Structure 1
Amino acid sequence: MKRYVAALTAVLLSGCGSMNSMNPVDWFASEDNAEKPAELVGLKGSVAVRTLWSTSVGSGADEQRVKLVPFVEGNRIYAADSNGIVKALDAASGRALWSVDTELDISGGPGAGDGLVLIGTSNAELVALDSTNGSERWRARVSSEILSVPKISQGIAVAHTIDGKLFGFDAASGKQAWIYDRSVPVLTLHGSSSPVISGNAVICGFASGRLVSIELETGNPIWEVSVTAPRGRSELERMVDIDGDPLIIDGVIYVATYQGEMAAVSQDTGVVLWRRKLSSYTGLGADWRQLYISDDSDFVWAVDPRNGSKLWKNDKLKARRLSAPAVLGEHVVVGDYQGYLHWLSNEDGRLLGRTRVGEDPITTTPVVVDGVVYVYGDGGDLAAVSGSK
């Protein structure tokens, strides 16, 4: 925690850091005495990593600290860059099916469903494109920048804005159906948790460290719970953002906060089933028996979903600015700040393999579908990768 204070204080004194000013990744990069990233060591190559295809999606995040995550739906994968390019590609080959230049400053997305591709912009708009050809179907005004992935289900499109609001829109017309408002702290991380739709509920985490469940159709609250209460005297010490997306498994929501705790919450009631001290600003991964998470020191953990106890911890990638973990069979996969994709054993966390997808950071969570890892680098490199023993 102490290594962040100098850089952030400088930003605050310069007058540009009152809200959503920085991400811990920025702190590492800007501080003179930042911890040196762990060096990569040679591996015996027990996992054969193979790139199935790779392509470029414009300029990617273009150093804008936006939340652009590939979205796989059926045999298609949708991806966007921060300068307005949106593409639909064949998931098996990477061949472009369509590509459009929206000329928008895209900051969140894409999400897809109900025949639409949704993107959020830095100019406070939610835009719906036709999934068959990329033509614009509608756009709607929101209250501020969308730094999360919009979601859609049952005819309702949902977007989370950086100022702590959730918006619901009619998917056919783009007309606003409801709004849910949460106040945000004075100082927050630069990012937002993406909403997760489960049945008739929207689950979302907020910068205040609170997790909420609201009705998809009406926007009415079902329950609200504090995952971590802010502590400390300064605004910096009291930051407890939920920036990673909640993970729902068998009626239990797993979520983590920055400078706070990881918790399991009942989806039906909002009752906290367990908490454990763990600070993270990325999301979680899981298989049938374990949870996986990258903490704010870039240690990768395996945690027991029944009680939150540690099963193993890998510290060999410390300070390499890891993405959230994804799970592929017996392997846990994380990206790092140099464009490497690391493969860990789900049994004990040992490093088993790596490959490089471009030279830019991989900050978004790799997406695993049908035995393939889709990874999107911040510079716009999109690749499909597989691994086997």
Structure 2
Amino acid sequence: MRLRGAPLALLLAAAVLAACSSTDKPKPKPLPAIEKPIAGRQVWSARLDSVRFPLGVSTAGGVFTVASTDGTVLALQPETGREVWRGSAGERLAAGVGSDGRWAAVVTRDNELVVLEAGKKAWHKPLGTRVVTAPLVAGERVFVLAGDRSVHAFDVRDGRRLWSVQRPGDPLTLARPGLLMPFKDTLLVGQGPRLAGLDPLRGTLRWEVPMASPRGTNEVERLAELVSPAARIGDLVCARAFQSAVACANADRGNLAWSKNVGGIEGVAGDDQLIVAADASDRLSAWRTASGEVAWNSEVLMHRELGSPLMAGDTVVFGDASGTLHWLSRDSGAPLLRLATDGSGLAAAPVAIGTTLLAVTKSGGVYAFRPN
């Protein structure tokens, strides 16, 4: 089943992309006037090669670490955009970038894991499996979640393989980034619709929580993998199960807090008050973090092909297919501010360090914004 699952996953991803680019798709809803605007502006920009792979932007170590299709990996100072360091993987990229502020890890199209230290290539290792999820660098280790949802751990200093785990999984997997993140002394991994807590030293399973109940009459309809980004709020980890649910689990105790059946393909954002996400039609919903009760819904950005959001203070920020960033009120969903990039669409969810928000576009534009 694994051999058949990989090409089927690719077909599924292609179908999703084709649907997004169809001439029959609904027209975006006209943007409403902003009644109570907030002030914000672009403060600096940089330029990379195109970003035609699933990009993860790291904020570890107080710097933005980004990467581009041609293998460039770049760390930027958030206040001014000054280059902290620049390096290269030497090959075109398929996934990245993960960083702990010192080490940065990417995966090439030849399925090779490449680790850099302050921009200098430290080591590289063939993986023998396709990867679309940015590696995780934490605790002197590099963790890789492969396309077949196997998990691999390497010593960050010398590339020595420490362990690999292939757990029973679903026959199909998505050709898009899965969930891979740290929580205290536990490694969190999405395994289909289940959130698994692994021992990062040995790879053994500590607990497992079903975040969604897959529905449908065939394998494609029942596909409900956890996708990134997820949101961590204290002991809660909240995530999207592809086209199935938004759910939160207590990652300290290893049990489900709540789950809501809702479609959608992008990740979530949240804080101690609200969890926010868009559904497949770009209808926005906010759920109360503690209970999962609906706090508000909004249709102001319908059919704009929204990416994953960022919670930033009293606002939530979405990027759309045109690369426009929309700041909305966290408490009501009302529009507050719109700022444009280069029109090519965002390559990753926006991220922030302090008051500086960073957006990276598919054409390689790197844009920093800040409230006035």
TM-score, normalisation: structure 2: 0.92
- The answer to whether the 8 A contact 1:72-1:91 is kept is no
Contact 1:121–1:145 at 8 Å: present in 2 too?
Answer: no
- Quick check: 2:238–2:247 contact (8 Å CA) kept in 1? yes
2:353 corresponds to which residue? Answer: 369
Q: Could you tell me which residue of structure 1 aligns to residue 254 of structure 2? A: 270
Structure 1 stretch displaced more, 218-227 or 330-339: 218-227
Question: Percent identity at matched positions?
Answer: 24
**How well do the aligned residues superpose, as a CA RMSD in angstroms?**
2.1
Counterpart of 1:130 in structure 2 is 117
2:203 paired with 1:213:
no
Question: What amino acid is aligned across from residue 270 of structure 1 in structure 2?
Answer: G
Q: Does 1:20 align with 2:10?
A: yes
CA distance in 1, matches of 2:321, 2:70: 21
- Equivalent positions of 1:329-344 (< 5 A) are 329-344=313-328
Q: For this pair of structures, how many residues does the alignment match?
A: 367
Structure 1 unmatched ranges of 5 or more: 1-11
Q: Which residue of 1 aligns with 2:22?
A: 31
Distance 1:30 1:370, change over 3 A: closer
Matched letter for residue 244 of structure 1? S
Question: Structure 1 residue aligned with 2:287, among 276, 285, 303?
Answer: 303
Partner of 1:54: 45
Q: Specify which of 224, 228, 236 is matched with residue 244 of structure 1.
A: 228
Contact 1:241 1:281 in 2 (8 A): no
Q: Residue 143 of structure 1: CA displacement?
A: 3.6
Shift of 1:360: 0.8
Deviations 1:5-62 (A, max 9, x none): xxxxxxx9xxx9522334375133343422222233443461112001011121122x
Instruction: Name the residue aligned to 1:79.
Output: 66
Residue 186 of structure 1: how far off its partner (Å): 4.2
State the AA in 2 paired with 1:164: R
SS state at 2:26 partner: coil
Give me the TM-score of the superposition, normalised by structure 1: 0.88
Q: Structure 2: where are the runs of 5+ without partners?
A: none
Following superposition, which runs of at least 4 residues in structure 1 exceed 4 angstroms of deviation? none
- Cα deviation, residue 219, structure 1: 0.7
- Over 3 Å counting, the alpha-carbon distance change for 1:296 and 1:244 in structure 2 is farther
Match status 1:153 vs 2:138: yes
Secondary structure, counterpart of 1:256 in structure 2: strand
Write the distance in 2 (CA, Å) between the matches of 1:31 and 1:366.
26
Would you say the 8 A contact 2:233–2:271 is kept in 1? no
Contact 1:20 1:191 in 2 (8 A): no
SS at match of 2:87: strand
Distance in 2 between residues matched to 1:25 and 1:231, nearest whole Å: 18
- Residue of 150, 154, 158 corresponding to 1:173: 158
For 1:217 and 1:107, locate their aligned partners in 2 and report how far apart those are by CA, in whole Å.
Answer: 26
TM-aligned CA deviation for residue 182 of structure 1: 3.3
Conserved? CA contact 1:210–1:225, under 8 Å: yes
C-alpha distance in structure 2 between counterparts of 1:246 and 1:43, whole Å: 29
Using the alignment, how far apart are the partners of 1:56 and 1:213 within structure 2?
Answer: 38
